[in-house]
């Protein structure tokens, strides 16, 4: 009897050093060189992606650019070209959708695929996984690492074990053999602090964890203990969710030097509001809740939110609200970072009578005209100017 009978067949596909690999593909002179994609070298930005040549120097995602330069001053530093990566990501997803509609993207460069029902059309699960890898290589000239297992947890673990260009299958009757030698840090939910707690009790591998009773783990670690008990046995019942709901859309920026001047901050907020509104309109979403996030130079962060009576994706509405929120913070320290998030999202049109309906329609019409001009002549062809500071709610 086939050990896969009556079990789900889940793939986790993870592109290898995605942003950096796309840049190396498009510029062959970068092949073999340490490539770092991220913020400007003289800024407070961080690494978005590093090629495998760069990783040999200990460079990894989210590392400050100054530290990258200290470790590898001869690296090739490139800015993030998000539009290019999004376009390539869509091409990759089209390959996935050839074999199953059950695709759950986790980010631009990784996704879960449920191919359980696909085997009757395209062959065995390992054949489908191999075909997907080959098509990505042949059609896009990029490599992907793939894990195949009976659930999401095991598939994701498998895809990470033989990077780059890996292909690992976790046979359902050999799950313990696969899991037992792995360090406990490989399990979801085991961060640095939890790992230290486990190590103090001489729990270092998944086998060590699996030998413990569920009651002991729950008493020792709380709610997460029950989760670790299941994962150490390879148990994960979560389905692949092909229609993931976008919960929020955000836009933020880190300053090269700290900013305390409110006029400067409002100018930055205007640009963020325009970018955020544009992103929301492109995916036909509106949000009721607008959140302002700020981070001080001591890395302390605070946020303030306001929920509207009617959902919006209009630049000027977003801008006015975040300016009100900024005023409410009464800042006394300069800021390192500022950001805006639109949440409580909907894709439905709301019908609501208001004294300000005519003004809102005027704003919507103006925004549509500006979107049209930008679409035809480019993003910089037309923009909004910050004229007057919005009045505070208390006025």
Q: How far is CA 349 from CA 320, 341, 346, 387, in A?
A: 22, 20, 8, 30
Q: Work out the angle between the directed axes of helices 223-231 and 214-221 (0-180°, nearest 10).
A: 140
Q: Work out the angle between the directed axes of helices 357-377 and 262-282 (0-180°, nearest 10).
A: 80
CB-based contacts of 241, cutoff 8 Å, min separation 6? 104
Pairing type for strands 35-38 and 76-78 reads: parallel
Query: Which is the catalytic residue, given 104, 110, 266, 321?
Result: 110
φ and ψ at residue 393, rounded to 5 degrees: -60, -30
Q: Please tell me the distance from the alpha carbon of residue 18 to that of residue 22, in angstroms, as a whole number.
A: 6
Reported as half-sphere exposure (CB side, CA atoms, 13 A), residue 331 has a value of: 29
Pairing type for strands 167-169 and 144-149 reads: parallel
Active site annotation includes 110? yes
Report the catalytic residues: 110
């Amino acid at each position: 009897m086939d050990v896969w009978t009556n079990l789900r067949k889940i793939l986790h596909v993870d592109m290898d050093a995605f942003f950096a690999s796309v840049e190396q593909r498009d510029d062959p002179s970068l092949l073999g060189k340490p490539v770092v994609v991220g913020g400007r070298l003289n800024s407070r930005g961080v690494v978005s992606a590093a090629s495998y040549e760069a990783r040999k120097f200990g460079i990894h995602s989210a590392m400050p650019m100054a530290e990258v330069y200290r470790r590898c001053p001869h690296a090739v530093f490139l800015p993030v070209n998000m539009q290019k990566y999004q376009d390539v990501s869509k091409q990759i997803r089209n390959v996935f959708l050839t074999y199953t509609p059950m695709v759950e993207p986790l980010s631009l460069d990784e996704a879960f695929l449920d191919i359980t029902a696909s085997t009757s059309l395209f062959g065995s699960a390992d054949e489908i996984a191999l075909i997907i890898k080959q098509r990505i290589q042949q059609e896009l000239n990029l490599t992907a690492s793939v894990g195949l297992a009976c659930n999401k947890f095991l598939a994701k673990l498998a895809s990470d074990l033989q990077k780059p260009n890996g292909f690992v299958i976790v046979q359902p009757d050999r799950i313990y053999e696969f899991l037992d030698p792995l360090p406990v840090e490989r399990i979801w939910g085991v961060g640095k602090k939890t790992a230290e707690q486990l190590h103090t009790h001489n729990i270092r591998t998944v086998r060590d964890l699996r030998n413990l009773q569920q009651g002991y783990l729950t008493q020792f670690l709380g709610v997460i203990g029950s989760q670790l008990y299941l994962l150490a046995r390879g148990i994960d019942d979560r389905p692949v969710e092909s229609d993931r709901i976008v919960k929020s859309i955000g836009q933020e920026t880190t300053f090269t030097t700290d900013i305390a001047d409110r006029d400067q901050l409002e100018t930055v907020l205007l640009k963020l509001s325009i970018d955020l509104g544009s992103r929301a309109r492109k995916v036909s979403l509106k949000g009721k809740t607008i959140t302002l996030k700020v981070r001080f130079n001591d890395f302390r962060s605070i946020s303030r939110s306001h929920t509207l009576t009617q959902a919006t994706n209009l630049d000027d509405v977003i801008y006015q609200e975040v300016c009100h929120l900024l005023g409410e913070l009464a800042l006394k320290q300069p800021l390192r970072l500022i950001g805006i998030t639109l949440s409580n999202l909907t894709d439905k049109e709301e019908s609501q009578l208001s004294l300000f309906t005519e003004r809102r329609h005027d704003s919507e019409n103006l925004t549509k005209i500006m979107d049209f001009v930008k679409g035809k002549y480019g993003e910089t062809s037309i923009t909004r100017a910050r004229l007057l500071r919005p009045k505070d709610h208390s006025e």
